[in-house]
Amino acid sequence: MDMQATQRNSACVVMLDGSLDALNAPDAIRFMLSQVESGWNHLILDLSQVDFMSSAGLRALLIVLKECRYQGGDLRLVGPNPAIANILKITGFTGVMQVFDDVEQAASSFATV
Amino acid sequence: MNETTTARTYCLTKAAHIETLPAFREMIRMACANHADIDEQTCYDLQLAVDEACSNIIEHGYAGMNPGSIMLELRLSPFPAVITITDFGHPFEPVDAPMPETEAALENPDISGFGLFFIYNFMDEVDYQPSEAGNHLILIKYLPSKAKADHSGIE
């Protein structure tokens, strides 16, 4: 899985490319937590290039969300494909995490915090 | 135009390692691509259930022993889709469980339990048959209405 982080206003945008499954989730968790440890507690996870997410991926989201909030920030999601958006909805994740259509909207939401 | 869809069986055997999960999902994806009746959401549901079941076998079924193999069989007749996953580890039956509370899972992500929920939520039937010849997990998914309608006219 390819991972990269860029700055967007007051937030760090993490872009993942590939499958967020049990194989890749540990690396994704480490990568995202390293951004938080660097001081980026406003994290935007761009899922637009993620083609598959399992329960291991959901667990990764929870771990990173928990740490972001512990540090006084938040984790917000961008651009899940319809199938991933479906599992986020039926598992109630959309009730505890904000999901946006694009990075611009997500970054703007942090600007109003 | 009359479209005749025949039953086909796809098989893949791999070592029970976390690195083989993508290969199992890819087999499901490729099989679905050969059947016009199967939409993207259904294909995703099948991949997700297989991924979660195989993950459980790798993590729990072969826990404490040398990992053996996982045999995945997908039978795609016009309807339904029947998946059989066979392993030779400790019997580990995926039990039906209510969907975890997301707020509670946020407090303790290690006990989230969403995998079992996905298997039972996205599959229509789940059966588990452990035996000395291997543990067989059978997942059945009824395909969308177009497949059911077509089935009535197929021998």
d(CA A82, CA A98): 16
**A60-82 pLDDT tens trace:** 999 999 999 999 999 999 999 99
Q: What percent of chain A has pLDDT over 90?
A: 95
Nearest C-alpha neighbor of B134 from the set B56, B71, B73: B71
**B29-88 pLDDT tens trace:** 999 998 888 899 999 999 999 999 999 999 989 988 888 999 999 998 767 899 999 999
Interface test with B, best of A55, A75, A88 (most B CBs within 10 A): A55
Report ipTM for this prediction: 0.92
Residue A7 sits at φ, ψ, to 5 deg, of -95, 140
| Residue B106 to residue A87, Cβ atoms within 8 A | no
**A4-30 pLDDT tens trace:** 999 998 999 999 999 999 999 999 999
| Contacts with B58 from chain A: Cβ below 8 Å | 22
| Residue A83 to residue B44, Cβ atoms within 8 A | yes
| Residue B109 to residue A66, Cβ atoms within 8 A | yes
Beta-bridge mates of residue A77: A45, A99
CB B87 within 8 A of CB B62: yes
